[in-house]
Structure 1
Amino acid sequence: REYKVMYGSGPVEGVFSKDTVSVGGIDVPGQPFAEVSKVSFGPLNIAFAMGKFDGLLGLGFKSISQYNVPTPFEAMIDKKLISEPVFAFYLQEDASEQGELVLGGIDSSHFTGSLADVPLTSETYWQVSLDAMRFGGEAVVSSPAKAIIDSGTSLLAGPPEQVAALARQAGATSIMGKAYVVDCAKADALPALKFTLGGHDFVLEAKDYVLRVSGQCLFAFTGIDVP
Structure 2
Amino acid sequence: IGKLIDMGQPFGLSKSQYGMEHAPFDGILGLGYPSLATQGTTPIFDTLKRRSLIPQPVFAFYLSSITMNGVVFGCFRGCQAILDTGTSLVLGPSRLVTAIQMLISASPVGHEYAVSCSYVARLPTIIFSINGNDYPLPPQAYIRK
TM-score computed with the length of structure 2 as normaliser: 0.62
Structure 2 residue 133 is matched with structure 1 residue 196: no
- Unaligned 5+ segments in structure 2 are 1-5, 11-16, 21-27
| CA gap 1:133/1:185 in 2 versus in 1, 3 angstroms | same
Q: Give the match for residue 207 of structure 1.
A: 140
Deviation (angstroms), 1:131? 1.9
Q: Which residue type is aligned with residue 166 of structure 1? A: I
- Please give the alpha-carbon distance, in whole angstroms, between the structure 2 residues aligned to 1:27 and 1:168: 44
- Unaligned 5+ segments in structure 1 are 1-23, 29-48, 86-122, 213-227
**Bigger Rg, structure 1 or 2:** 1
| CA gap 1:51/1:167 in 2 versus in 1, 3 angstroms | closer
| CA gap 1:149/1:25 in 2 versus in 1, 3 angstroms | same
Percent sequence identity is 27
TM-score computed with the length of structure 1 as normaliser: 0.42
Deviation (angstroms), 1:155? 2.5
Per-residue CA deviations over 1:117-175 (Å, capped at 9, x if unaligned) read xxxxxx5xx43222222111212226264665532123322223321221011100111
1:1-227 pair list within 5 angstroms: 26=8, 58-60=30-32, 71-73=42-44, 74-79=46-51, 84-85=53-54, 123=58, 126-141=59-74, 143=76, 145=78, 149-176=83-110, 178-212=111-145
Q: Which has the higher contact order (CA 8 A, sep 6+)?
A: 2
Bigger helix fraction: 2
- Please give the alpha-carbon distance, in whole angstroms, between the structure 1 residues aligned to 2:134 and 2:9: 38
Deviation (angstroms), 1:190? 0.9
- Give the match's secondary structure for 1:188: helix
Deviation (angstroms), 1:61? 5.5
- Give the match's secondary structure for 2:61: strand
C-alpha RMSD over aligned residues: 3.4
